[in-house]
Structure 1
Amino acid sequence: MSAEDIIGLYERHAAAFDAQRGRGLMERAWLARFTALIPPGGAVLDLGCGMGEPIAAHLIGLGFRVTGVDSAPSLLALCRTRFPGQEWVLADMRGLDLGRRYDGILAWDSFFHLDHADQRAIFAVFARHAAPGAALMFTSGPSEGVALGCFEGETLHHASLSPAEYRALLAGHGFAVLDHRAEDPECGGHTIWLARRDGAQATSAG
């Protein structure tokens, strides 16, 4: 299975994904760092929002205005039912242009399903939706390559660029890296990038 098949996989198995996705919010500490960079009541763009739980739900509970983007209609239908006061957009994040800028952009466990070329191109999507000083957080793989997982008996595609290339892409699109952790043991082994738009001072070599 390639990256092109991911949309169909999540649509076919939306109910299973909803049932199996943990709600324990192991991401809490990183989300706290992300939201600390966003003004109260600010607007957050959640790319690959899934069914909106637990991450979008957490952000909504903190008073942020969430625009969730996903390419699986069944998952977005769950978002609209559970969180009708927010905006849920059926779209592919690749080439996305909503004509608006956000105080925070999140691509948690979504961006890494794209192939290498699409990952490089998505940084322009991040940049055109980022307000001055906007926070950006996404997950990737720990090193360059492709990894194949499995969900509901189907192959699940993941890809990653090298850390050096991610840093170069962020810098080239006006983002400064605030922190980077590879396979963080306190966050389920996620590899996480936290950055800020428009020349924010980096605070960690990562």
Structure 2
Amino acid sequence: MSSPGDKLGYDGLRLDRTGQAEAFDAIGDRYEEAFPHKEGQIESAEWLIASLPAGSRVLDLGCGTGVPTARQLAEADLRVVGVDLSDTMVALTRKNVPGGEFHCADLADLRPGGPLDLGRFDGVTAFFALLMLPRAEIPPALRTVHHLLVPGGLLALSMVEADVDDFSIPFIGSTIRVSGYLREELREVVETAGFDIVDESSYSYAPAVADVAPEVQIFLRCRRRPDGS
């Protein structure tokens, strides 16, 4: 008998997070100093806020420090639940967004049959969260998001445009591993996971620290299709 994880494509994958959480534990609130401008992220969260009624449940994947997204959602009277792999980031989010519910967990923990059952959501934000996964895990992660959303639920997603897979880079005094796609391939991966892309935008971004290269950020605003479509 197949497991729920097998249906999403997790079975057989070796989930390697070596050094990822530790890097963000070390970075802490210096992340906000390195990335002070988040126009694309703010605009995508505003789209989600405008599209959902007050009281809707929204999951913030890779919630980081909680600024700006979790705080923005909470201030709009949405019920915010956040997940991050870093204990330090979760502690900062709980301080910055005291009205939310935040967990230190892996996105893979949220899959059907996984150790953390948070229920269903009307919206999900995943701003650069998938960037931290090897490419082999990104389709299962998106199918997990599809599972977490109610039919017709909304996903605000961002990635850095790059043709890389689990590639080590210097990052704010630490080292992390990142993956990315070129734009058309990213669209294909998202649509194959069961989402319709209703809008998109991109930004050229230069972080405020020397060891992080300028990047092109892609923002996709998506709607979950019904199961099986």
Shared fold by TM > 0.5?
yes
On the 8 A contact 1:102/1:129 being kept in 2, the answer is yes
On the 8 A contact 1:3/1:157 being kept in 2, the answer is no
The one of 11, 19, 26 equivalent to 1:5 is 19
Query: Aligned residue pairs: how many?
Result: 196
Quick one: distance in 2 between partners of 1:15 and 1:138? 22
Query: Could you tell me how far 1:175 is from its partner in structure 2?
Result: 1.1
String of CA shifts for 1:60-108, please: whole Å, max 9, x gaps: 1111111010011111112222322210011011242424111111110
2:91 pairs with 1:77 = yes
Partner in structure 2 of residue 62 of structure 1: 76
Quick one: distance in 2 between partners of 1:75 and 1:99? 19
Amino acid in the other structure paired with 1:106: T
Which stretch of structure 1 is more off in the superposition, 156-165 or 81-90? 156-165
Partner in structure 1 of residue 3 of structure 2: none
The one of 195, 200, 218 equivalent to 1:191 is 218
Query: Could you tell me how far 1:120 is from its partner in structure 2?
Result: 2.0
On the 8 A contact 1:11/1:74 being kept in 2, the answer is yes
Partner in structure 2 of residue 155 of structure 1: 175
Query: Could you tell me how far 1:33 is from its partner in structure 2?
Result: 2.0
Partner in structure 2 of residue 204 of structure 1: none
Partner in structure 1 of residue 61 of structure 2: 47
Quick one: distance in 2 between partners of 1:4 and 1:162? 26
CA change 1:184–1:3 in 2 (3 A) is farther
2:147 pairs with 1:120 = no
Quick one: distance in 2 between partners of 1:174 and 1:43? 20
Quick one: distance in 2 between partners of 1:105 and 1:92? 15
What do you get for the CA RMSD once the two structures are aligned? 2.6
On the 8 A contact 1:115/1:159 being kept in 2, the answer is yes
1:158-169 alignment runs, 5 A limit: 158-169=178-189
Partner in structure 1 of residue 126 of structure 2: 107
TM-score computed with the length of structure 1 as normaliser: 0.82
Classify the secondary structure of the residue corresponding to 1:94.
Answer: helix
Gaps of 5+ in 1: 200-206
TM-score computed with the length of structure 2 as normaliser: 0.74
Query: Could you tell me how far 1:184 is from its partner in structure 2?
Result: 2.2
Q: Percent identity?
A: 24
